[in-house]
A = this chain, B = another copy of it.
Amino acid sequence: MSGNVLKLGIPKGSLQDATAALFEKAGWKIKFSSRSYYPTIDDDEIECLLIRAQEIARYVADGVLDAGLTGKDWVQENRVEVEEIADLVYSKTSDRPVRWVIAVPNDSPINNVKDLQGKRIATEAVNMTIDYLKQHGVTASVEFSWGATEVKPPKLADAIVEITETGSSLRANNLRIIDTIMESNTKFIMNKDSFKDEWKRTKVERIVLMLKGAMAANRKVGIMMNVPRKSMEAVMKILPPNTKPTISSLTDDAWADLMVILEEKLVREIVPDLKKAGAEDIVEFPLNKIIH
């Protein structure tokens, strides 16, 4: 028999507010209290726990949590088995996955993974680094770094394995990347037993459906315009292929109302052309969610 509460791990720290904002767009309000690690959520079927992304995979694998949001990197670093339900992309700006890279000082003689033999590597991701070196048949001293890893070479380490998005912090510390160990992004993961529980799996699927709806709306907008019936074909050609606009009849038969969902970025490209093709009163409006 199945329980009726889903224990969900929310990542504490840099992703915390973005996670709450995404859930709010999806329809759930998570509230943090400064002293508690049990955020409240307005759904009696969910129980949240706020913990570091580094630890969520471990607790989901153990079954202490049914599900959680964490990076693919920390799943691997913890060397655990979980169900990966969905990829989540949080913000409009950073849709690139982050990368864990090996970096060395610009003037280091180290140029590839083989050159790391016998060297000293500082990293927050010790297991991931050891596994990677083993695959390449390299033995090195891998030391756990409590922070500020990028300032350690060359005095405190020969190389580092560090997370980076744009590489700018590495460059600022005069480091160059010699290899990428893995690309990572946020995952919605489940415990393998919880995944077999129908109630829990269905609950997670509904949450994920809404989260995806909210993410889809992040970069899209609605466009409404009045189009003369005779210009409809010309207007349709300007819209991207595969777009399915909603065309409503108006009382004035010579005109129709066209409503369509578009990538926000596309709007600035096609609006001048739509206008030229005869569309009038073009209005853009914001969306909360899109479920295709």
Contact = CB atoms under 8 A, between A and B. Distances in A.
Interface of A: 12, 26-29, 31, 35-37, 42, 49, 51-52, 54-55, 58-59, 64, 92-93, 143, 145-148, 151, 155-156, 172, 205-206, 209-210, 213, 217, 221-222, 224, 226, 244, 246-252, 256-257, 259, 261, 264-265, 267-268, 271-272, 275, 280-292
Contacts of A267: 27, 210, 289
A146 B52 contact: yes
Contacts of A148: 12, 37, 51-52
18 contacts: A12-B148, A27-B264, A28-B268, A51-B148, A51-B156, A52-B146, A54-B146, A205-B272, A206-B268, A206-B272, A209-B271, A213-B282, A244-B280, A246-B250, A246-B257, A247-B251, A247-B252, A257-B259
A291 B286 contact: no
Contacts of A217: 283-284
B248 A257 contact: yes
Contacts of A31: 93
Contacts of A281: 244, 246, 261, 290-292
A55 B288 CA distance: 41
A29 B59 CA distance: 39
Contacts of A271: 209-210, 213, 289, 291
Contacts of A250: 246-249
Contact of A222 (B213, B248, B285): B285
Contact of A249 (B26, B52, B248): B248
Best-buried of A42, A145, A256, A271 by chain B (most CB within 10 Å): A271
A289 B246 CA distance: 19
A286 B288 contact: yes
A139 B137 CA distance: 34
Contacts of A206: 268, 272
Contacts of A147: 12, 52
A51 B146 CA distance: 9
Given A145-B55, A268-B210, A282 B290 contact: yes
Nearest to A206: B272
A284 B287 contact: yes
A91 to B, nearest CB: 11
B251 A256 contact: yes
A267 to B, nearest CB: 6
Given A28-B268, A250-B247, A290-B281, A58 B209 contact: no
Given A49-B155, A213-B284, 13 more contacts: A27-B264, A42-B265, A51-B148, A51-B156, A55-B146, A210-B271, A246-B257, A249-B251, A271-B291, A282-B289, A282-B291, A283-B289, A286-B286
